[in-house]
């Protein structure tokens, strides 16, 4: 509600029920549906590209151990008892 109040300050004095009615009636218009369809189409077009990038990142080799981690693990890779 805060985001819409910022954009449309006239909605501030509305009751919660009036605000709900306003949102339902403005979102359910044909114009709103076309906007939403356009945005979801953009997301669908971008999804394969993002999926490829994510898969590429997921297939990278793990980072090398830091000096601290290596020291904590011990020189031979076994955990240091303490």
DSSP letters along 23-69, please?
HHHHHTSHHHHHHHHHHHHHHHHHHHHHHHHHHHHHTSPPPPPPHHH
The tally of domains found in the chain comes to: 1
- pLDDT value of position 27: 87
Domain that holds residue 18: 10-48
Within-domain flag for 35: yes
pLDDT digits (tens, 9 = 90+) for 13-46: 989 999 899 889 988 899 999 999 999 999 998 8
Contacts 24+ apart (CB under 8 A), 49-57: none
Structural domain contains residue 20: yes
- Looking at the domain assignment, is residue 19 inside a domain? yes
In a domain, 22, yes or no: yes
* 68 within some domain: no
- 3 DSSP assignment: H
Residue 41 lies in a domain: yes
Q: Is the pLDDT of residue 51 over 90?
A: no
Q: What is the mean pLDDT of the chain?
A: 73
Residue 81 within a domain: no
Q: Which residue has the higher pLDDT, 72 or 25?
A: 25
Q: Could you give the C-alpha distances from 46 to 37, 40, 58, in angstroms and in order?
A: 14, 10, 18
């Amino acid at each position: 509600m805060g985001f819409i109040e910022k954009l449309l300050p006239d909605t501030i004095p509305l009751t919660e029920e009036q605000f709900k009615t306003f949102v339902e009636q403005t979102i359910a218009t044909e114009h709103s549906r076309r906007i939403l369809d356009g945005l979801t189409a953009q997301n669908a077009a971008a999804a394969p590209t993002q999926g490829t990038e994510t898969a590429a990142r997921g297939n990278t080799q793990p980072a090398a151990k830091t000096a601290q981690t290596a020291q904590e693990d011990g020189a031979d890779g076994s955990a240091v008892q303490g």
